[in-house]
Amino acid sequence: MTEPMLWKMLLGLILLGALGYATAAWSAVLRAKSSGTPAVASWSYPGRETARLLVRQRTASPGADTMLSRIGVVLLPMAAMMAILVIPLGTNAITDLSVGVVWFNAMEVLAWAAVWMVGWGSNSVWGLVGANRFLAQGLAYELPHMFALITAGVGAGSLRVSDIADHQGHLWFAVYMPVAFVVFLLSGLAFSFSPPFAQAFGADIAGGAAAQLSGVDRLLLRTGRYLLLAAAAAMSVPLFLGGGAGPLFPGWVWMLLKTLAVLAVLVGAGHRLPGVRMERFTEISWLVLLPLTIVQALAVSIFVLLGWM
């Protein structure tokens, strides 16, 4: 591992952390607005919450599988951090793998393992119910999500994320493949179990997979969730929104601006939409989204064959 790579990694992690903080703060602001409390104070809410959780004591229920639970809460933010390794900031990614799209997918699927370990490890009925809910949701979103990813890959003729971004010189992929773009955003919300896909952590099951977590464990889980959402938004930019392309500013500024815009839309949508239960989403996903994404992939393949892209 060379020294510039380490610096890039550090920069990537700092940026991801900042984006995650922005996500958490923005959702706090939206919550404050809808409840009528002053919204300005909400910008520091994630910081205060972090401090509160850091000083709180860890609790454990009897018979808990502490090892799995601990691995789970650490794995979740780790998955987000590893997922962003392939996302180019402007022109260069931390490590521009030739199969970056598959790498992103594999890292984001680690959230399944993390959430299930946390839910199971807490030795609580609600934890296990929440964990199994998340797996059901995962089975629902994953297949259309994979088709959306591969459609972008087909459009650019490459699985390398920077190739996909560079291939959108004249027109963004979001225009060529709107269905894939929307499905990607939906599954971004779903794999980071953000509202409206937060049933695995719902209030109806006392917090679900996080029911027994406290202190630093809860902090790590929440951090992981916001980092995952930020990673999804950051990935959507090179895949569908032209990457760092844009007038006036250098690539990395555009990349960050677009990521923030996508994040704002995602958090705003999650705040407005009613919660989507996983059994309902499963039917919608398999009977509507899956055929749509397949047709979308077919259409993009034909575009490529005709030389339109």
Listed ranges 21-29, 99-107, 183-191, 192-200: which one lies at the site for other proteins (CB under 8 A) = 99-107
Beta bridge partners of 89: 92
CB of 132 to other proteins, least distance (A): 6
Q: Using CA atoms, how far apart are residues 216 and 303, in angstroms rounded to an integer?
A: 50
Select 45 or 286, whichever has its Cβ closest to other proteins.
286
Query: Encoding tokens for residue 38?
Result: 């002053």
Query: Encoding tokens for residue 23?
Result: 């996500």
Closest by CA to 229, choosing from 11, 5, 16, is 16
Select 31 or 277, whichever has its Cβ closest to other proteins.
277
CB of 123 to other proteins, least distance (A): 8
Footprint of other proteins on 137-176 (CB under 8 A): 138-139, 142, 159
Number of residues counted as binding other proteins (CB under 8 A): 38
Where are any strands of DSSP class E within the chain? none
Position 184 contacts other proteins (CB under 8 A):
no
Burial environment of residue 216 by CB neighbours within 10 A (0 to 12, 13 to 18, 19 or more) = middle
Buried b (16+ CB within 10 A) or exposed e, 19-42: bbbbbbbbbbbbebeeeeeebeeb
Position 106 contacts other proteins (CB under 8 A):
yes
Footprint of other proteins on 28-87 (CB under 8 A): 63, 65, 67-68, 71
Contact 286, 143 (CB under 8 A): yes
Q: Residue 271 — φ and ψ, nearest 5°? A: -75, -30
Q: Which of 128, 150, 186, 221 binds other proteins (CB under 8 A)?
A: 128
Q: Which of 132, 151, 223, 236 binds other proteins (CB under 8 A)?
A: 132
Classify 94 as helix, strand or coil: coil
Whether residue 4 has a cis bond before it, omega within 30° of 0: no
Query: Encoding tokens for residue 76?
Result: 């979740």
CB of 222 to other proteins, least distance (A): 21
Site map for other proteins, 223-262, x if CB under 8 A? ----------------------------------------
Listed ranges 178-186, 225-233, 278-286, 293-301: which one lies at the site for other proteins (CB under 8 A) = 278-286
CB of 4 to other proteins, least distance (A): 18
CB of 116 to other proteins, least distance (A): 5
Q: Using CA atoms, how far apart are residues 87 and 96, in angstroms rounded to an integer?
A: 8
Q: Which of 23, 42, 105, 137 binds other proteins (CB under 8 A)?
A: 105
CB of 89 to other proteins, least distance (A): 22
Distances (CA, A) of 172 to 13, 98, 187: 27, 21, 20
Closest by CA to 122, choosing from 71, 76, 60, 74, is 60
Q: Which of 117, 174, 182, 221 binds other proteins (CB under 8 A)?
A: 117
Binding footprint of other proteins on the chain (CB under 8 A): 63, 65, 67-68, 71, 97-99, 102-103, 105-106, 109-110, 112-113, 116-117, 120-121, 123, 128, 132, 135, 138-139, 142, 159, 276-277, 279-284, 287-288
